[in-house]
Structure formats: C-alpha cells, structure tokens
Amino acid sequence: MLKTFLPNEHVKNVFDISPEHLVEKGIKGIITDLDNTLVEWDRPHATDKLIEWFKEMKKHGIMITIVSNNNEVRVKAFSDPLDTPFIYEARKPLVRAFRRALRDMKLNKNEVVVIGDQLLTDVLGGNRSGLHTILVVPVAQTDGFFTRINRRIERQLLTWMKKKGMIYWEE
C-alpha cells in the first residue's frame, strides 16, 4: 500500500527534467501540478526560466497539461499566457482529472509523466492512475493551510520509507 505514495523518480526541480530525456523514454506528455511545483503558490505568473522550459518541451513535441486543485481564476491566470491547457479543482488524488488530461492529450499512460511536489496528491493520484510519477522539491518553503497538514504526513511517510530502504535521495 505504501508503494502508492512512492514516486518513480525524484528531482530537485522541473528544470532537472529535460525534454531530450523524456523523448528518449517515449514520453509525449506531461501532467504537472502548479503551486510549489512550477512556481511558488503565491506567485501569479511563470518566471522567464519556466517560460523557456515550457517552450523547450513544446519544441520537442511534448504536450503539457496543468492539473491543479486550485480554483479556476488562479489556474487560468497562470496557464493562459503559456497557452497551456489546464484542469482546475482537480480533487487530486482522485484519478478523474488525470484520466481527463490523458484523454484530452490523446495519449496512452506509458506516454505521460506526472510532475508534482506532493506525495498525497500528485504522486498518489498519478500512481493510482498508472502513470510514471516524478516528485520535485517544493519551490517555496511556505504553504497554504491544507498543504501544511499534508506536508506533516508526507514527512512521516518519507521518514518511514527511508528507514525501510524504499527511497535513496536526500530531502
């Protein structure tokens, strides 16, 4: 059961994920979280570096869909300038939004990765959907109220998994 919380990969940030590496693995699509994965939860727009990362992915034929538990106003304001499809109020870790993103991109499970900063939403939802999951370190040290609760649970899970030898990376 705990394996459903275990990501397939762990990287420091999205910039450590190269389009060349994804294409080499047969990846054609990314389902990514927004807040504290791409930018700080309170930053309204993408940074220049992130805009360039999106352009590189698209240049290599990799589609991106933002799947966020946040509201439409927040997600739309971030996604529209990037010309990137999005799903808001996704209710992750439920699988419905992940399935919808797959359907909208017209891709198979083995052609898509999920990128996120939370075990209890992004990784759990991606794993339950049968997708390859990549956990990133949160870009901000602060979180909203509910995310702070999730982080406490995540720390306990990570500590337990580390003791069992299930994870190998440093936090």
Percentage of the chain modeled with pLDDT above 90? 75
Largest CA distance in the chain: 44
Where are the domains positioned within the chain? 19-163
pLDDT value at 82 more than 60: yes
CATH 3.40.50.1000 fits 19-163, yes or no: yes
Q: What is the pTM of this model?
A: 0.87
pLDDT value at 148 more than 80: no
Q: What pLDDT sits at residue 41? A: 85
Whether the ω angle into residue 93 lies within 30 degrees of 0, i.e. cis, is yes
Q: What is the pLDDT of residues 40-63, one digit of tens each?
A: 988 999 999 999 999 999 999 999
pLDDT band of 91, cuts 50, 70, 90: very high
CB neighbour list of residue 43: distance below 8 Å, 6 or more residues apart: none
pLDDT value at 171 more than 70: no
pLDDT band of 153, cuts 50, 70, 90: confident
Q: What pLDDT sits at residue 85? A: 98
Integer angstrom CA distances of residue 30 from 3, 55, 82, 97: 22, 13, 14, 13
Q: What pLDDT sits at residue 169? A: 62
pLDDT value at 167 more than 90: no
